[in-house]
């Protein structure tokens, strides 16, 4: 009897945990969209709650303040981006590793453009909420991955490059398709970027990065990149 009761309690706990995860995910997604459009100062908890489809009181229950919610959105974005650097290891094939990283960054720009815009707004306004993170964890991550690229160069596997600035170049080249999408669309004469537009952009960025390192493309065409269906505002 006790075992049955414990099993039922465990199942109830797991169900509540899944419900909580879904609610948090919905609120973070809504917050990402609102912060991308209005910035930290212009965003309101009421608008975020409305977009997430939850009462404002529920939003405050999960995130005590707008600043707490904003930081949670930023942390989520940074965790997502830093995870993509894991392909860059000493034992990896340089062309394959860099291709994987660039394609991942391009997919994020296509599918999570609001994430990139939230981050860009934060940086433009002085990185007041994540300045310490940038000076510590991000700096350590870039130093570690840059050391890998330097080792590739020392072993003659790629041409010598400024590894740190290579990351800056990749970030700028990939995130521009999210941060400055309106500009790209205007120049291309399109209301929004299509799948083929993102494929063309990915192929170009890959060519620039790999040729800079003296590497050939590892595949004829980059993996298809689909823009987010919700990303239709220009």
What does the pLDDT look like over 146-191, one tens digit per residue? Answer: 999 999 999 999 999 999 999 999 999 999 999 999 999 999 999 9
pLDDT grade, residue 20 (50/70/90)?
confident
DSSP secondary structure, the chain, as one string: -HHHHHHHHHHHHHHHHHHHHHHHHHHHHHHHHHHHHHHHHH--HHHHHHHHTS-HHHHHHHSSSHHHHHHHHHHHHHHHHHHGGGG--TTS-HHHHHHHHHHHHHHHHHH-HHHHHHHHHHHHTT-TTTHHHIIIIIHHHHHHHHHHHHHHHHTTSS----HHHHHHHHHHHHHHHHHTHHHHHHHHT-SS--HHHHHHHHHHHHHHHHHHTT---SSSSPPP----TT----
pLDDT of residue 1: 60
Q: Is 18 exposed, middle or buried (0-12, 13-18, 19+ CB in 10 A)?
A: exposed
The rounded distance, in Å, linking the Cα atoms of 11 and 17 is 10
pLDDT at 226 over 80: no
pLDDT of 22 reads: 85
Determine the pLDDT at residue 230: 46
Q: Which range (5-19, 74-88, 136-150) has the least confidence?
A: 5-19
Mean pLDDT of the chain: 89
4 or 205: which leads in pLDDT: 205
User: C-alpha angle 138/140/145, rounded to 5°?
Assistant: 95
pLDDT band at 217 (very low <50, low <70, confident <90, very high): confident
Nearest C-alpha neighbor of 134 from the set 205, 57, 81:
81
Q: How is residue 5 written in tokens?
A: 């009761």
Residue written as tokens 């981050």? 119
Domains and CATH numbers, the chain: 1-64 (1.10.10.60), 70-234 (1.10.357.10)
Of the pLDDT bands very low, low, confident and very high (cuts 50, 70, 90), residue 234 is very low
pLDDT of residue 227: 52
Percent of the chain topping pLDDT 70: 85
CA distances from 10 to 4, 16, 98, 139 (A): 10, 10, 44, 41
> Does residue 15 surpass a pLDDT of 60?
no
Instruction: Give me the pLDDT at residue 232, please.
Output: 41
CB atoms within 10 A of CB 71: 16
pLDDT of residue 11: 59
């Amino acid at each position: 009897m006790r075992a049955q009761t414990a099993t039922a309690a465990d199942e109830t706990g797991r169900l509540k945990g899944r419900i909580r995860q879904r609610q948090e995910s919905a609120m973070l997604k809504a917050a990402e969209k609102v912060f991308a459009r209005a910035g930290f100062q212009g965003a309101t908890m009421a608008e975020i709650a409305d977009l997430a489809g939850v009462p404002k009181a529920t939003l405050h229950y999960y995130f005590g303040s707008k600043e707490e919610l904003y930081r949670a959105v930023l942390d989520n974005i940074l965790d997502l981006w830093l995870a993509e650097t894991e392909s860059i290891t000493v034992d990896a094939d340089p062309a394959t590793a860099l291709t994987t990283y660039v394609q991942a960054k391009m997919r994020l720009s296509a599918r999570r453009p609001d994430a990139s815009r939230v981050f860009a707004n934060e940086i433009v306004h002085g990185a007041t909420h994540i300045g310490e993170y940038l000076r510590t964890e991000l700096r350590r991550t870039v130093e570690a991955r840059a050391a890998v690229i330097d080792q590739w160069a020392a072993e003659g596997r790629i041409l010598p490059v400024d590894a740190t600035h290579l990351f800056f170049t990749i970030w700028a080249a990939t995130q521009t398709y999210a941060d400055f999408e309106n500009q790209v669309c205007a120049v291309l004469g399109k209301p929004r970027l299509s799948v083929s537009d993102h494929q063309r952009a990915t192929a170009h960025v890959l060519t620039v990065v790999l040729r800079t390192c003296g590497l050939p493309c590892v595949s004829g065409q980059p993996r298809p990149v689909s823009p987010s269906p919700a990303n239709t505002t220009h």
